[in-house]
Amino acid sequence: MANPLRDGDLTQLGPYRLHARLGEGGMGQVYLGRSPGGRLVAVKVVRPQLADDAHFRRRFAAEVDAARKVGGFYTAQVVDADTDASPPWLASAYIPGPSLHQAVQEHGPLPPESVAVLGAGLAEGLAAVHACEVVHRDLKPANVILAEDGPRLIDFGIARALDATSHTQTSAVLGTAAYMSPEQAAGQRVGPASDVFSLGCVLAYAATGRSPFGEGPVHAVVFRVVHTEPDLSGLPAPLAGLVAACLAKDPAARPGLDQVLAHLTALASPGGPGQGSWLPEAFTQVIAQRRTLALTALEQPAVGANGAPRTTMPSGPRAPQPLLADERRRMRGSLRPAAAYRIAVYVMLALFGLISLSIVVHQLNIFEDVGRMLPEDDYWDADDAAEELSIIMLAAQVVSGLGLILCWLLWFHRVRVVAEQLAPGRLRYRPAMAVLGWFIPLGNLWLPKQIADDVWHASSPPGRGGAMAPAGLLHAWWALWLATLLSWPLFWLDWTEFLSSTSEEIDEETYRAFAFEPEVWAILAAHVLAVPAVIVTAWYVRRLSAMQAAKFT
């Protein structure tokens, strides 16, 4: 719906005079504009925060070039753009109608015949988009405009520029969670079949007034999209089979757009688009009202809040208000486990495990000489070499062990802080205990596990009754940690100190042989244990970090 311009709004972009506000999206503000020849256009202006991102500008320019090639009866074609301007903008044909989302929210679901016409039009529009090697990626009720002569598909192709930009990646997901395909939700490569899945969601929404994957927190909706079957209750029988096929989890199992179009065309009423009867009366009245409001906005001079004529440039600088998406992003930046900490833990785990494995190999090499009699001079040379190498490895293990402890504490404290935000007031112990708990004698045998249990539970994806995600990995990590803790003193011993020897006289010459004391075997076992402990710990870090990241995206 056209709303008056506000103080500070632009009134001219390129050749287009801006007359009213039409809406606001993740990319920026949308204005009602008019070309010098009198054509109505919808002008989308990119937010300054995005315009300053060089990567976004490059992707945006590429996607605009692709989108300008798209034609077809059921798309609102991009007619002009300036991706190098400040701010960048694009203009598309203006369709004087409500979005599907607005129409259903205000007047309820569409009848089955109207849904069939809607779906056939969208399938034809998507076919035109795909023919230009563009994937929409953001098909949802808000991006479908209802016009008198059929639906119009908007914003095709532009979503990919948003998805590729860190500034808007989360806001793009938030806006489309209930309508994205499983492969898109999982961050995998998407193709035309992804748009078919979204089309099925849109048809279900149009016929029932709700998404087939429900509402709620974004992470919960995404989980249902990827892992659960859609709720198609209330969907008219003639549409149910087609919608269910479109919502197949496997992209290869979904029907092609030609099949969708053929099925829906057969269901559509004879008086389809172009006959003025494809929408119920209440919807056509809204379209007529929107057209009237747009024409009224064009006839009125652009004025500010004080009634004074508005200039073509913003009326002086003003402090920009942060985007809600930016606020969420800043919060996530302060709460999400820092990638640097996680990577540091991986590096130190790998280094510690590699050194432990090297010590094991060194001990086994010496073990090959156990019982083998060597001339005394050769024996002492081998003993000195073994001791020198052992000291070097011990020093490396001390350094890597201290580094691992530091990186681990930083990471573990961060995931504890994030868990507090995911489940405020429901975790035991204060965040500082995520560090202190490891140093309390005897308490470190159970306090960190309790903290880890709470963090794992708070970070778990939604389940029945808020149940904790399967925690076999958590328990395996803790069991290996306890075993490593109990054997920890053995890591700091020079195992060559526990080498002994046997000797005998042969031909009046002294021969010696290495012998392992029990302590050597204990040290060997401790270092062998370190290898699976490192692997399981890295796996645990990866899994917990992924669960927490999923809850924020």
Q: Which residues are catalytic?
A: 138
Q: How far is CA 552 from CA 83, 212, 339, 453, in A?
A: 31, 22, 15, 20
Element housing 145 (H / E) = strand 144-147
Please name which of 265, 415, 281 lies closest in space to residue 339, comparing C-alpha atoms.
415
Packing angle between helix 376-422 and helix 518-552, nearest 10 degrees?
Answer: 30
133 in helix, strand or coil?
A: coil
Secondary structure letter of residue 247 according to DSSP: T
Give the whole-angstrom CA distance, residue 227 versus residue 297. 47
DSSP string, 472-520: HHHHHHHHHHHHHHHTGGGGGS-GGGGEEEEEEEETTEEEEEEEE-HHH
Number of residues in the chain? 553
Give the whole-angstrom CA distance, residue 51 versus residue 212. 35
CA torsion 118-119-122-128 (nearest 10°) is -130
End-to-end Cα spacing for the chain: 30
Backbone angles phi, psi at 282, to 5 degrees: -60, -35
Packing angle between helix 100-107 and helix 281-299, nearest 10 degrees?
Answer: 120
87: preceding bond cis by omega (within 30 degrees): yes
Neighbouring residues of 339: CB distance < 8 A, sequence distance ≥ 6: none
User: Is there a binding annotation on residue 44?
Assistant: yes
Element housing 78 (H / E) = strand 78-82
Binding-site positions for ATP read 44
What are the binding residues?
44
